[in-house]
Amino acid sequence: MGSAAKKAASSRRVASAAKEASAPVRKAPAAKKVTVATKKATARIKGTAPARTVVHPPGGESRTALVRRARRINRELAEVYPYAHPELDFTNPFQLVVATVLSAQTTDLRVNQTTPALFARYPTPEDLAAANPEEVEEILRPCGFFRAKTKSVIGLSKALVEDFGGEVPGRLEDLVKLPGVGRKTAFVVLGNAFGRPGITVDTHFQRLVRRWQWTGETDPDKIEAAIGALFPKSDWTDLSHHVIWHGRRICHARKPACGACPIAPLCPAYGEGETDPEKAKKLLKYEKGGFPGQRLNPPQAYLDAGGKPAPPLGAG
């Protein structure tokens, strides 16, 4: 055999050996992934209780599957919180828009403990528009950021008097023109004072819809659009209440009570919080934990279900 032929044969043997050696290295990881995915998928199909680890839904959840899962979660929450309602005390649209503006960066409870004195002294937009800012600041001091909030509530009251005849408008495009009123506040007012559907994207709502993998968006307006597309418009207001109530009572930011969660089998983030049922029960808040709610004057349905009214400012 000539020198050239020997070199060619040698090259073919080296190439063949390299091909055989490399083949198993590429296939092994793929086989392992398939096995793990099959076990998880089988467990979810059989409807077994969630494992004690974070269970992710099968990759590539279809649009149809997402819609079904999201709507089922909402139905389950509706059974857990049949009395869900806005947790700000109000008797008319003016009180609700003012209370919602005041609720920024504080609790609804603190707002509810503060607004009785405010509305007793300034019951109408005309009264608040003509108020002495220093006197309003003193009333709103417990709410935090009281100077900025005083400016907002007096400003929106003046706008109501000057532009809307002293009445709160029932249109989104008008509400967002008021000082201190954004889309979130506007939808709270529209949904709960005027019965017009809207999604309230507060911090609880944002956290939970991402935790449930309903959307990966982080911008509130994009979250609103993404979630709105999963539900009929007629569900939007009640959906907001259900999600926000669940976020405040069970699915907390730092220590979610996974072991006491009624939608655990549907949650891809199960296991991020306490999974032991007894320990999880100790993390529950408000009526689920036997504590007063946030409203001083809650709806009768809430009281009938065992909920307790919050104490007034300075009590206990």
Catalytic residues: 184, 202
CB atoms within 10 A of CB 136: 22
CB count within 10 Å of CB 122 equals: 22
Pairwise CA distance, residues 288 & 77, whole Å: 13
Q: 119 is written with which tokens?
A: 């509305």
First to last CA, the chain: 104
Give the Cα-Cα-Cα angle 283, 237, 184 (nearest 5 degrees).
85
Q: Which amino acid is at 129?
A: A
CA 83 distance to own-chain centroid:
18
Q: Can you spell out the DSSP letters for 235-284?
A: GHHHHHHHHHHHHHHTS-SSS--GGG-TTGGG-TTTTSS--SHHHHHTT-
**Distance in angstroms (rounded) separating the CA atoms of residues 236 and 193:** 14
Distance of CA 207 to the CA centre of its chain: 5
Q: Among all chains, which residue has been given the structure tokens 């909920």?
A: 307
